[in-house]
C-alpha cells in the first residue's frame, strides 16, 4: 500500500489542472492515467480547440474567464502555436490547440512538480472507503497496486468512482440522448485557404459523393478545421453509433464505432484526393489513440447544476469556477443545437457540483461533474474542465483532509 495526500484518477484537462494545483500547494499527489499521454480527449481523441477559456461577451475584447491552470495552459498554447489571440467564431471565442503540444505542455508542467507522481498506462479499477480515507486499486499490465489517500479526485470523465460505489451516486442520459461520439483525425498537407465558402463547397462535394455511392452515409457528419499550423487540418466525423443502441461503456460497441470512424475517414480521404485539388497531396490521415466520447455518466453531487441555472447566468456566493460556453447539444450526428445563455455573462459553478457530503474526501470534476444533461453540453468543454479540476483540488486542500 502506498500513501498519498491526494489521488487524482484521470489525466485529461480536469485531471491535469487538479494534479498541478494539488502538488503546487504542497500535497503529495498521485496522478493515475490509463493512456500513455496526458490531456485526455484534447490529446488522445485529437480534439483541437479549447472552448470555455474566455469571457462570453464577444462585444468586448477577449479576456480569460477563469484564472489559474486554464489560463496558464491557454497562454502556453498561444505562445507555442504563435497565436496572439483566440478566433472569434460567430458568438464565441475559441483557441485552436495542437494535441501534440498539449501533451508536451502537460509533461513539462507535471515534471516541474517534485511532489507529483504520474502513473502511465495504469487503469483505476476499484475504490473502497476505509477509516483512513480511500483505497484505490490500479492495474497496469497484469500488475495490481493499492494506493491510499484521504482525498480522491475523479476526473476520468466517466464517473468511474461513483460507478464503483453504487447507483445512487451517478446518473446517465438515455442512450438516444447521449451526446454522440465522433472520430477526429489529422490531415496534413491540405492546400488552399479554408474559409466559409470553401467549407460549403466541400460539403456539397461530400453530399454528391454520398448520393453517388462513393462515400458512406456516415460521411455527412464530417467537419474540417484548420490546425494552428498551416497546411494541417483536422477532420471530425460525428457518428450516430447505433443511436438508441449506443452504450459508451460497451467495449464491443466502442470497437464498432471506432472502426466505422476509420472507415468513413479513409473513404473521405480516398474520395477527396481524387475530387478536390486541395487534397491531392494529402498523405493518409493520422489516427487518434481513441475516438472522441462526448458523454457517458455524471456524478450526483450535493448540487446538480441545471441548464436553466446556466442559461440565466446564475451566480452563487460560494462558486468555485465560471462557465461561459453555450450549451452545445449534439444528440444526433447532424451537427450541434445551441442554447445560449440569456445574457453575455458567465454562470457560476457551486462546490456542490464537485462533491457529495455522503462521500467525504471524494471529489469529481471535468465532464463527469454533477449537472443535468443539457448543462453538461456547456460544462464539458476543456476550458471549463480545467477550471473545475483546479477547483476540486482546492476544495480537497481546504477541507484539510488532504
Ligand X SMILES: Cc1cc2nc3c(=O)[nH]c(=O)nc-3n(C[C@H](O)[C@H](O)[C@H](O)COP(=O)(O)OP(=O)(O)OC[C@H]3O[C@@H](n4cnc5c(N)ncnc54)[C@H](O)[C@@H]3O)c2cc1C
Q: Which residues bind ligand X (CB under 6 A)?
A: 9-15, 32-35, 40-42, 45, 47, 49-52, 123-124, 155-158, 160, 182, 184, 236, 292-294, 366-367, 380-383, 385
Q: Ramachandran region of residue 31, left (φ > 0), alpha (ψ -120 to 50) or beta? A: beta
Nearest residue (CB) to ligand X, 89 versus 208 = 89
CA angle 238, 98, 118 (to 5 degrees): 100
Nearest residue (CB) to ligand X, 149 versus 293 = 293
At residue 17, what are phi and psi to the nearest 5 degrees? -65, -40
Residue 9 near residue 197 (C-beta atoms within 8 A): no
Nearest residue (CB) to ligand X, 227 versus 236 = 236
Q: How far is the CB of 244 from ligand X (least distance, A)?
A: 19
Q: How far is the CB of 280 from ligand X (least distance, A)?
A: 27
Q: How far is the CB of 243 from ligand X (least distance, A)?
A: 17
**Residue 219: DSSP 8-state:** G
Nearest residue (CB) to ligand X, 152 versus 276 = 152
Q: How far is the CB of 340 from ligand X (least distance, A)?
A: 16
Nearest residue (CB) to ligand X, 29 versus 155 = 155
Q: How far is the CB of 400 from ligand X (least distance, A)?
A: 26
> Closest Cα partner for 2 from 114, 117, 112, 107?
117
Q: How far is the CB of 224 from ligand X (least distance, A)?
A: 13
Alpha-carbon gap, residue 389 to 46, rounded angstroms: 20
**3-class DSSP state of 64:** strand
Q: How many residues does the chain have?
A: 402
Nearest residue (CB) to ligand X, 128 versus 201 = 128
Alpha-carbon gap, residue 79 to 101, rounded angstroms: 11
- Which residue pairs, CB below 8 angstroms and at least 24 apart, start in 81-90? 81/228, 81/229, 82/228, 83/228, 86/53, 86/54, 86/62, 88/58, 88/62
Nearest residue (CB) to ligand X, 121 versus 284 = 121
Q: How far is the CB of 38 from ligand X (least distance, A)?
A: 7
Q: How far is the CB of 315 from ligand X (least distance, A)?
A: 22
Residue 49 near residue 98 (C-beta atoms within 8 A): no
Nearest residue (CB) to ligand X, 33 versus 372 = 33
CA angle 292, 347, 73 (to 5 degrees): 50
Amino acid at each position: 500500500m502506498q500513501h498519498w495526500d491526494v489521488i487524482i484518477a484521470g489525466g485529461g484537462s480536469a485531471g491535469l489542472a487538479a494534479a498541478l494545483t494539488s502538488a503546487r500547494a504542497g500535497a503529495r499527489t498521485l496522478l493515475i492515467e490509463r493512456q500513455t499521454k496526458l490531456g485526455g480527449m484534447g490529446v488522445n481523441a485529437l480534439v483541437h480547440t479549447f472552448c470555455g477559456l474566455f469571457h462570453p461577451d464577444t462585444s468586448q475584447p477577449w479576456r480569460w474567464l477563469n484564472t489559474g491552470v486554464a489560463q496558464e495552459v491557454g497562454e502556453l498554447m498561444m505562445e507555442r502555436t504563435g497565436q496572439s489571440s483566440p478566433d472569434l467564431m460567430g458568438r464565441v471565442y475559441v483557441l485552436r490547440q495542437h494535441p501534440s503540444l498539449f501533451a508536451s505542455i502537460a509533461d513539462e508542467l507535471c515534471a516541474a512538480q517534485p511532489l507529483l507522481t504520474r502513473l502511465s498506462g495504469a487503469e483505476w479499477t476499484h475504490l473502497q472507503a476505509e477509516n483512513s480515507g480511500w483505497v484505490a486499486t490500479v492495474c497496469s499490465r497484469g500488475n495490481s497496486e493499492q494506493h491510499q489517500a484521504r482525498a480522491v479526485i475523479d476526473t476520468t470523465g466517466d464517473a468511474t468512482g461513483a460507478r464503483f460505489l453504487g447507483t445512487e451516486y451517478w446518473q446517465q442520459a438515455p442512450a438516444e440522448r447521449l451526446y454522440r461520439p465522433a472520430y477526429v483525425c489529422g490531415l496534413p498537407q491540405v492546400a488552399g485557404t479554408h474559409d466559409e465558402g470553401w467549407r460549403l463547397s466541400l460539403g456539397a462535394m461530400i453530399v454528391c459523393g454520398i448520393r453517388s455511392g462513393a462515400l458512406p452515409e456516415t460521411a455527412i457528419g464530417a467537419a474540417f478545421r484548420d490546425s494552428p499550423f498551416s497546411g494541417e487540418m483536422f477532420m471530425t466525423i460525428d457518428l450516430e453509433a447505433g443511436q438508441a443502441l449506443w452504450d459508451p461503456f460497451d467495449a464491443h460497441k466502442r470497437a464498432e464505432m471506432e472502426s466505422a470512424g476509420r472507415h468513413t475517414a479513409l473513404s473521405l480521404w480516398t474520395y477527396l484526393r481524387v475530387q478536390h485539388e486541395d487534397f491531392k497531396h494529402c498523405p493518409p490521415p493520422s489516427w487518434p489513440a481513441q475516438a472522441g466520447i462526448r458523454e457517458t455518466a455524471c456524478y450526483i453531487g450535493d448540487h446538480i447544476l441545471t441548464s436553466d441555472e446556466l442559461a440565466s447566468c446564475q451566480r452563487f456566493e460560494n462558486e468555485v469556477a465560471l462557465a461561459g460556453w453555450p450549451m452545445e447539444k449534439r444528440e444526433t450526428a447532424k451537427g450541434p443545437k445551441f442554447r445560449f445563455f440569456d445574457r453575455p455573462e458567465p454562470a457560476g459553478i457551486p462546490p456542490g457540483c464537485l462533491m457529495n457530503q455522503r462521500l467525504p474526501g471524494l471529489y469529481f470534476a471535468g465532464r463527469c461533474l454533477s449537472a443535468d444533461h443539457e448543462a453538461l453540453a456547456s460544462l464539458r468543454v476543456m476550458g471549463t474542465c480545467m477550471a473545475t479540476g483546479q477547483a476540486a483540488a482546492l476544495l480537497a486542500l481546504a477541507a484539510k483532509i488532504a
